[in-house]
Amino acid sequence: MKKVPTVCPYCGCGCGLFLHVEGGRVIGVSPNRNHPVNQGSLCVKGWNCHEFIHHPDRLKTPLIRKNGKLIESSWQEALQYVAKRLSETISRYGPDSVGVLSSAKCTNEENYLLMKFTRAVLGTNNIDHCARLCHSSTVGGLAAAFGSGAMTNSISEIKDARVLFVIGSNTTEQHPMIAMHMLEAVDRGATLIVADPRRTKIADFATIYLQHRSGTDVALLMGIMHVILAEHLVDRDFVMRRTENFHAFEESLREFTPERVEKLTGVKASDIRKVARVYATEKRSMLFYAMGITQHITGVDNVKALANLVMLTGHIGLPCSGINPLRGQNNVQGACDMGALPNVYTGYQKVTDPKARRKFERAWKRRLPERAGLTVVEMTEAALEGRLKAMYIMGENPLLSDPDLNRVREAMEKLEFLVVQDIFLSETAEFADVVLPAATFAEKNGTFTNTERRVQLIRRAVLPPGGAMPDWKIITGLSSLMGYPMQYRDTYEVMEEIALLTPSYGGILHYRLDNGFGLQWPCPDRDHPGTPYLHRKKFARGLGTFLPVQFRMPAELPDEEFPFVLNTGRTGVHYHTGTMCRRTTVLEREEPEPFVEINPRDAEKLEIREGQRVRVSSRRGSIVLRARLRDNTSEGVVFIPFHFREAAANLLTNPALDPEVKIPEYKVCAVRVEPLEVVKRPKRPRRVDIEELRIT
Amino acid sequence: MKGWILPKNSLSYWLRQLRKDSDLIGPLRTPDGDIVFESVEKIHEIVLDPPASLPSVKEFFLPQYETVFVFKTDTVRPIQEKRKRVIFGLRSCDVAALRLLDRFFLDSQPDPYYSERRKNTLLISVVCNRPDPTCFCVGIGAGPYLKEGFDIQLTDLGDRYMVEIGSPRGRRAVREYSFVFQRPRKTDLEDQFEVQLSSTARFQQRINLEGVRSLILSQRVDEGFWQEVANRCIQCGGCVYVCPLCSCFTVTDRVYQEHIERVRLWDACLFKGFTRLAGGILPNDAPVSRTKRWFYHKLIYYPEGIGGFGCVGCGRCAVVCPSKIDMATVVLNIKRVSENAVSG
C-alpha cells in the first residue's frame, strides 16, 4: 500500500489528505495530521473522496454524436472533429461566436492552458467559469476597494481572533474545517456574530445571531456602520492614513439609523447597536462571508459595504484582522488567478490594458483580442440570440448550476456545436456533440489554490481509466491540431510559464511546493516565503477607497401569486451538481432526494405535513419535491438545495444579474408552494389463500 | 514466554528476510513530515522513533473499500486476498484492539475476508517509550506494553530491542533467523523494566472508563449533556473511521458493463442514513441519538456483548475530531459534570 499526499477535490478549504493506493486502485483516504488547514481532520466528503474515482460511470472513451446518439470514438477522430468544427465556426462567424467555460475543479495549469487556448488559438476573450456564479462580486468589489479580491487572512489565524463576524456563510456545512478553527476560537473565548436569513449550525455557537430578511445585507451593514460612526468607534487614524473618499461615504450612511434599518431588515435596533460595538471595539476581528453576500443583484454592493466596514474600524492588514470571502470550489481561487475570466489574464492583468496584452502577445506569439469577452450568463443570452454558435465546456455543468435552467437548455439546443470535457456524463455532457473523457484529481499532477491563496500540489496516485486523459493533455492535443503546438513535458513546465507571466505567482514553482504545504500568493520570486495576510502597511492599490453604496431591494419580491421567498444553497453532504458525491455510497444515502425546507407555521397554514410531496413554482418553472418542516428559515422563506437533477432548484431561480459583475440572484426569488394531493392508499389486496393458488 | 535481544544493527537484515515472502508495512515519513503506515521499499527509511499515536492499522484488516466478490448472470467469483504481510512498528493499543476485533469478526460467524488477512499477517509491535498527550491506554490495560496477545513485541532499549514472542507465528519468525538474536542478560531485563515504568509514568491523562460507565448506568448523566456533545458534532465520521475498534461497514454493488462488483465500505453510526428504513424513515434523525449511541456502544454495549470496553485509549479520535468531542474529552467532562452535581 502506498499513501500519496494530495489535496481534497471538494471545497475551497484545501485540506491535505493521503490517497491510499493498492494494486492500481485508490482504496482509502486519511487526513494529513500536520496540514495547517485540517490538522488531522476531514469532513465526511473528504473522508469519502476516494469512491467516485473508480466508479463504473466514469467516461473512458471520447464520444461523438452521430444520428442523435453519442457513439464511442477514438481520440484522434474526436479531436480532429472538434478542431474542424471549431475552425469552421470561427471562419464562418468570427472568433467571438465561440464561448469557453473553464473549471474551478481543474488545476491551475489546466485553467491557464484553456485560457491560453481560448485567447491565442480561438482568438476570443469569451472565457468564464463558475466563479461568475459564486464570487465574482468579491473579485469586483474587493478589487475596487483594495486592489485585490481574495481572503486577506490565513485559516490558521482564526483560532487567535477575538471577534468572528460571519455573514451569509453556512460555514459548518460548506467549509467544515474553517468552522473547526472558528469553534476553537469560540472555545478560547472569542465572540462569534452570525448574520444569516437562514439559521445554520454555525449560529448555535454564536453570541449574537441576526436573522435579517433575504437581500437586506446592505441595509444591515449600513446600520452597523451608522452606529460605529454615531458612537465614535471609527478608527480615525486608520481612515486618515490608509484610505480615501471617506467623506462621500460618510454622507451615504446618514439615513441608515438603526431604527430605520430595523424596519428594512427585521433585526432589532438594539442588536444592530450591540454588533457594531462588539465588532468595532475589539481588535483582532475577522470578517467572513460567502454566497449569502455575493449571490444577489446587489452582490458587489454587499461586498463593498463589507470592505467599508473593515476600513472604518481598521480591521484589516494584520494577522487575525481582515475580510475573508470563503471560496467555494477547491480551485476557484486558482481558476480566477489564472485568468479564466473574460476581462483578465493571469493575476488579474486586464485584457484592455495594452501593456499587459503586449506582454502576453509576445509570450504566446499571437495577436490577442482587445475587447473583454462574455460572462457565463451572457453566453446563454448570446446563444439564445444566435450570436454564440459553439461552446467548449471543461468540467462544468451549467445545465444544473445556472439560473433559469429552461432558458439554459434552450440556449444549448440552439448551439451548433457543443464540446464537453468531464469525468462523468453530466447533465450538460448529455447535450454535447462531442464528449471528451477527463482524469480526476487522483490521476494527474498539478496545483490547486485554496481559499486562503495557498497554492498546493496534487499528485497522481493512479492512472485514468480506459482512454481518459488529464484535461491539460486534451487541451494541448487539440491546440496542436489547430495549428498552435503546445508542448509541455508535464504540468511543472506549465507552472513555470505561469510564474513568468504572473507577478503574484512569480515564485511559485512545483519544486518549491514538493515539501511542506504550498505557498500563499503573492509570492513574487523564488526566495519569497509567501504571504499569510494581505494589505500589510498598504493596500494593493495604495490607499483603500471607501465606496458609497445604495440600498436596493432584490429583483423579485414575493407577491400574491408567488408569496414565498426562495433561498437556494447546498447541504453538508453534497457538493454542487452532485456528479461526484451522488456517486458516493454514504453521501448519497444521507440525502438521496431533493427537499424543500419550509417553516412549520407556513406548513400548517398550507396543510403540509413532514415528508409530503409539494409543488414549488416560480415564474420560470416548477418542481415537485418533499417538504421538510424546519424553523431555521423565518416564515415566508423556503430553502431548496440545488444538487438534485430530479428537482433542480435552478429551474426556479431568477437570472437577474448584478449590473457590475453579472452574478445572478440565486438567493432570492419569488415562489409558490402547493401541497400535492395526498394519494389515497390503494385498498389492501385481499389475502389470498395458498389453497386458491394451487393449480388444480 | 522467552525474551531475546535483537541488536538494532541487525533489525534491517531481519526485516529484509521477513519481507522475502511478504509485503512489509511500516511507519514512513511523508514529504511534509507526517508519518503513515505504508509498504516499505527502503528498510532504512522506517521511522524507528515515531510518535506514539500513528494512524490505526485497521485498514489492513478491514479496508476502507474492498471488492468482496464479482458476479455475472451465472457465476460468482469471491475475491480473497492471499497476500502475506508483516506490519512493523504498530503499537500495543492496535494489537489490543485487534484482539477485540477478532471476537467480533471471528467468533460465532467468522468473516472470511478478515480471517484470511489476520492469518496472513505477522504483527511486530513496539512498546511506547513516550506516549502522546492524547494517549490513555494505560488506564485500560491496552498499553503502553502488553503481557500477551501480540505476535512479537519489541521494547526499545537504546542500541537494541528486547524481543518478546507471543504466538506461534511470532516464534517462527524469530526461530528461523535465530542467529541474529541473543539471549538477554539480567541488565537487559532491568532496562526493559525501567522503560516500562518510565513510559507508564509519562501519561498525561488517566481515564477511568469503568467509573464513567457506572455514572451513565446509574442515570447520572442527563440528556442535556449529550445534547451539548451532539451540538458540536459535524457528523464527519472521523472518529469511527480512525477507531481501531469500530467495525461497521456497508455493502453496495458497482454495476459495470460485463460484471457486477459487490463492494464493502467503511460506514459510521453517526450518519443518519446508517439506520435509514424503507420509505425514507430515519429512526435516528436527531443527531443526539447518534452521537450518544457511539459513546454508549463503546462504554456500555461493548462490555456487555464483547467483554471489555470498545476503546483502547489510543486517542486517535482526539486527533481527528474537528469539534473536540473525542472519547477522552467527553469522559473527563462526564466526570467533571457529575462531580459538580454532587458537590453542588
Whether the predicted interface score ipTM is above 0.85: yes
Q: Which of B29, B38, B82 to mutate to test the interface with A (most CBs of A within 10 A)?
A: B38
Q: Which of residues 291-330 of B touch A (CB under 8 A)?
A: 319-324
Which are the contacts of A605, defined by CB distance < 8 A and separation ≥ 6?
A: none
Q: In 3D, which of A20, A14, A26, A15 has the Cα closest to residue A52?
A: A26
Chain position carrying cell 483578465: A344
B184 min Cα distance to partner chain A (Å): 35
> Does position B1 have pLDDT exceeding 50, yes or no?
no
Interchain CB distance below 8 Å, A184 and B324: yes
The proportion of chain A whose per-residue pLDDT surpasses 90, expressed as a percent, equals 94
| Overall average pLDDT of the A323-339 stretch | 94
| CB B146, CB B187: distance < 8 Å | no
What is the predicted pLDDT for the residue at A123? Answer: 96
Tell me the domains of chain A and their CATH numbers: 2-54 (2.20.25.90), 63-127+330-512 (3.40.50.740), 152-325 (3.40.228.10), 564-675 (2.40.40.20)
Interchain CB distance below 8 Å, A40 and B320: yes
| CB B312, CB B305: distance < 8 Å | no
B247-278 b/e with 16+ CB inside 10 Å = b?
A: bbbbeeebeeeeebbbbbbbbbbbbbbbebee
Q: In 3D, which of A124, A206, A215, A220 has the Cα closest to residue A163?
A: A206
Q: In Å, what is the CA distance from B42 to each residue of A342, A461, B25?
A: 50, 20, 11
- Residues A386 and A99: their CA atoms lie apart, in Å, by 12
Burial class for B194, CB neighbours closer than 10 Å (0-12, 13-18, 19+): exposed
> Does position A689 have pLDDT exceeding 80, yes or no?
no
- Residues A296 and A167: their CA atoms lie apart, in Å, by 14
B34 touches A: beta carbon within 8 Å: yes
Residues from chain A that touch B52, judged by Cβ atoms under 8 A, are: none
Task: Using CB atoms, pick whichever of B65, B273, B322 lies closest to residue A28.
Answer: B65
| CB A275, CB A209: distance < 8 Å | no
Per-residue pLDDT reduced to its tens digit, A225-250 = 999 999 999 999 999 999 999 999 99
- Residues A196 and A209: their CA atoms lie apart, in Å, by 8
| Residue-range domain boundaries for chain B | 3-62+83-201, 209-246+268-343
A5 touches B: beta carbon within 8 Å: yes
B252 touches A: beta carbon within 8 Å: yes
| CB A21, CB B63: distance < 8 Å | no
Residue of A nearest to B252 (CA): A585
Residue of B nearest to A55 (CA): B254
Pairs of residues, one from chain A and one from chain B, whose beta carbons lie less than 8 Å apart? 128
Q: Which of residues 219-258 of A touch B (CB under 8 A)?
A: none
| Overall average pLDDT of the A53-62 stretch | 96
Q: In Å, what is the CA distance from A358 to each residue of A355, A365, A483, B281, B343?
A: 5, 10, 21, 63, 78
3-state secondary structure of B151: coil
* Angle between helix B209-217 and B327-343 (nearest 10): 60
A30 touches B: beta carbon within 8 Å: yes
DSSP string, A147-216: S--S--S-GGGGGG-SEEEEES--HHHHSHHHHHHHHHHHHTT-EEEEE-SB--GGGGG-SEEE-PPTT-
- Residues A198 and A179: their CA atoms lie apart, in Å, by 17
- Quickly state the pLDDT bin for A129 (edges 50, 70, 90): very high
| Overall average pLDDT of the B335-342 stretch | 81
Phi, psi of A14 (to 5 degrees): 75, 50
Strand partners, A565: A637, A670
| CB A220, CB A272: distance < 8 Å | yes
- Residues A58 and A308: their CA atoms lie apart, in Å, by 47
B256 touches A: beta carbon within 8 Å: yes
Per-residue pLDDT reduced to its tens digit, B234-292 = 999 999 999 999 999 999 999 998 899 999 999 999 999 999 998 888 899 899 999 99
A30 min Cα distance to partner chain B (Å): 9
B53 min Cα distance to partner chain A (Å): 11
Q: In Å, what is the CA distance from A483 to each residue of A83, A132, A366, A651?
A: 9, 31, 12, 40
A47 min Cα distance to partner chain B (Å): 7
Interchain CB distance below 8 Å, B273 and A586: yes
A266-294 b/e with 16+ CB inside 10 Å = b?
A: ebebebbbbbbebbbeeebbbbbbbbbbb
Residue of A nearest to B29 (CA): A3
Interchain CB distance below 8 Å, A183 and B30: no
Per-residue pLDDT reduced to its tens digit, A584-596 = 999 999 999 999 9
How many Å from the N-terminal Cα to the C-terminal Cα in chain B? 52
What is the predicted pLDDT for the residue at B54? Answer: 82
Per-residue pLDDT reduced to its tens digit, B129-154 = 989 999 999 989 898 999 999 999 99
Q: What is the mean pLDDT of chain B?
A: 93
Q: What is the mean pLDDT of chain A?
A: 94
Q: Which of B234, B264, B325 to mutate to test the interface with A (most CBs of A within 10 A)?
A: B234
Q: Where are the beta strands (DSSP E) in chain B?
A: 3-7, 23-29, 35-39, 65-71, 76-78, 85-90, 121-126, 152-156, 160-165, 249-255, 260-266
Interchain CB distance below 8 Å, B320 and A31: yes
Residue count (chain A): 696
| CB B319, CB A33: distance < 8 Å | yes
Interchain CB distance below 8 Å, B39 and A176: no
